[in-house]
Amino acid sequence: MKTVVITGAAGFLGSHLAHHYIHNKWRVIGIDNLSTGRKKNVDDLLCNPHFVFITHDITKPFVKKLSAKRIDLICNFACPASPPQYKRLGRETLLVSSRGVINCIDVTRQHSARLVHASTSEVYGDPSIHPQPETYFGNVNSYGERSMYDEGKRFAEALIWTAQHPPDGSKPLNAGILRIFNTYGPHMAPDDGRVVTQFIKQAIAEKPLTIEGDGSQTRSFCYVDDLIDGIIRLAKSNEQSPINIGNPDEYSIKELAQIILKLTGSSSTVTHLPRTEDDPTQRCPDITKAHTLLNWKPTISLKEGLQKTIAYFTKSENIK
């Protein structure tokens, strides 16, 4: 039986990964400090003999906390991910992207395992080319209200590159990096402030949907099942350089609001707030590399994914 360590296992993406690997007969060690995640996302796994949950902050070493003799894979998904949360936890976001990643690298090395690290499309900042290929270096503000996240994630990628190219000739780290574009689906925290959860909540409550700016800024939204498929393919591969994973179908925030209003049957209106600093104008992945190297592309339409997400929010999160 293979063993995977998942950091951020109580979060949105980490909990989906934990379910995937348990379902596929792996032993799963989930680590989380519950700063933004919720144990309810893995509640159903807690009685499974192949699932272990450790409450721990990965900025502190954790190699000694792992009971498994052999670890095959480390999926590093621990990090605040929504703008309100990484702004609230600015220092923690920088630390988990630096010390946290170093600790993940140490565990990976000790077990000669593979590391899969969750990076982000935010490494491209407010991009000046469109769509964004992995070769684009980004347009990022190092000193602003999003820089703890954007620069933290860029620093983490640089740490991994350094471990993959040791100057002393020692064994290079085996690691894959996912640059994840906006992903949504069940297990997102209803109050995490991300646009999909916020619009669904507001629409169901018949409150005005709050759009930042005029809503012409675009995003591409990937349903979580498609993303998990991409992560698994990257984990199985030997690919060492960053890969974009996201859905290239691009929608403006205005369009997203209208789709959610229609799917929820809400009679809410929309209202506009000032645009936040460094909010990207356009965001869309070039997924040629994922398609070529991993034979991956998304299959779930925005409408289908939103229907599943709305059903989850109304049933499991009791949002009315």
Ligand X SMILES: NC(=O)c1ccc[n+]([C@@H]2O[C@H](COP(=O)([O-])OP(=O)(O)OC[C@H]3O[C@@H](n4cnc5c(N)ncnc54)[C@H](O)[C@@H]3O)[C@@H](O)[C@H]2O)c1
Which residues between 199 and 238 bind ligand X (CB under 6 A)?
none
Cβ contact 140:155 at 8 Å: no
Q: Which stretch binds ligand X (CB under 6 A): 42-50, 71-79, 230-238, 270-278?
A: 71-79
Residue number, 247 or 268, with CB nearest to ligand X: 247
Joined together, the tokens standing for residue 175 give 């690691």
| Shortest Å, Cβ 191 to ligand X | 12
User: Taking the CA of residue 238 as centre, how many other CA atoms within 13 Å lie in the half-sphere pointing to its CB?
Assistant: 1
Residues 254-313 touching ligand X, rule: CB under 6 A, are none
Is 36 within 8 Å of 189 (Cβ atoms)? yes
Q: Tell me the CA distances in angstroms from 116 to 70, 104, 235, 272, one per residue in order.
A: 17, 10, 6, 38
**List 96, 101, 113, 232, residue binding ligand X (CB under 6 A):** 96
> Counting contacts by CB under 6 A, is residue 247 touching ligand X?
no
8 φψ region: left (φ > 0), alpha (ψ -120 to 50), beta (else)? left
Q: Would you state the structure tokens that stand for residue 255, as one six-digit string?
A: 């369009």
Nearer to ligand X, 30 or 266 (CB): 30
Among the listed residues 21, 149, 184, 223, the single catalytic one is: 149
For ligand X, the binding residue among 17, 28, 71, 79 (CB under 6 A) is: 79
Q: Is 113 in the site for ligand X (CB under 6 A)?
A: no
Pair 200, 313: CB distance under 8 Å: yes
Task: Using CB under 6 A, pick the residue from 81, 159, 235, 243 that binds ligand X.
Answer: 81
Whole-number Cα distances in Å, 7 to 33, 78, 211: 9, 5, 32
Smallest separation (angstroms) from ligand X to the CB of 171: 26
Residue from 42, 71, 75, 80 binding ligand X (CB under 6 A): 80
**Hunting for tokens 């994840």 — which residue is that?**
180
Residues in the chain: 320
Of the pair 7, 132, the CB lying nearest ligand X is at 7
Number of residues counted as binding ligand X (CB under 6 A):
29
Task: Please state the closest distance from residue 218 (CB atom) to ligand X, in A.
Answer: 15
Residue nearer to ligand X on the CB measure, 36 or 282: 36
Whether 149 is a known active-site residue: answer yes
C-alpha dihedral over 148, 151, 153, 159, to 10 degrees? -120
- Cβ atoms of residues 259 and 209 within 8 Å: no
Where are the strands (E) in the chain, listed by range?
3-7, 27-32, 51-55, 73-76, 114-120, 175-180, 183-184, 209-212, 218-220, 222-223, 243-245, 250-252, 270-273
Q: Which is nearer to ligand X, 84 or 208 (CB)?
A: 84
Site for ligand X in 1-60 (CB under 6 A): 7-8, 10-14, 31-37, 57-59
Pattern of binders to ligand X over 116-135, x per CB under 6 A?
A: --x-x---------------
Q: Tell me whether residue 81 or residue 294 sits nearer to ligand X (CB atom).
A: 81
Q: Please list the residues that pair with 285 across neighbouring strands.
A: 132
Q: Which pair of structure tokens corresponds to residue 296?
A: 């991956």
* Smallest distance from ligand X to CB 12, Å: 3
Q: Which amino acids are annotated catalytic? A: 149
Which residues of this protein are in contact with ligand X, per CB under 6 A? Answer: 7-8, 10-14, 31-37, 57-59, 77-81, 96, 100, 118, 120, 180, 182-183
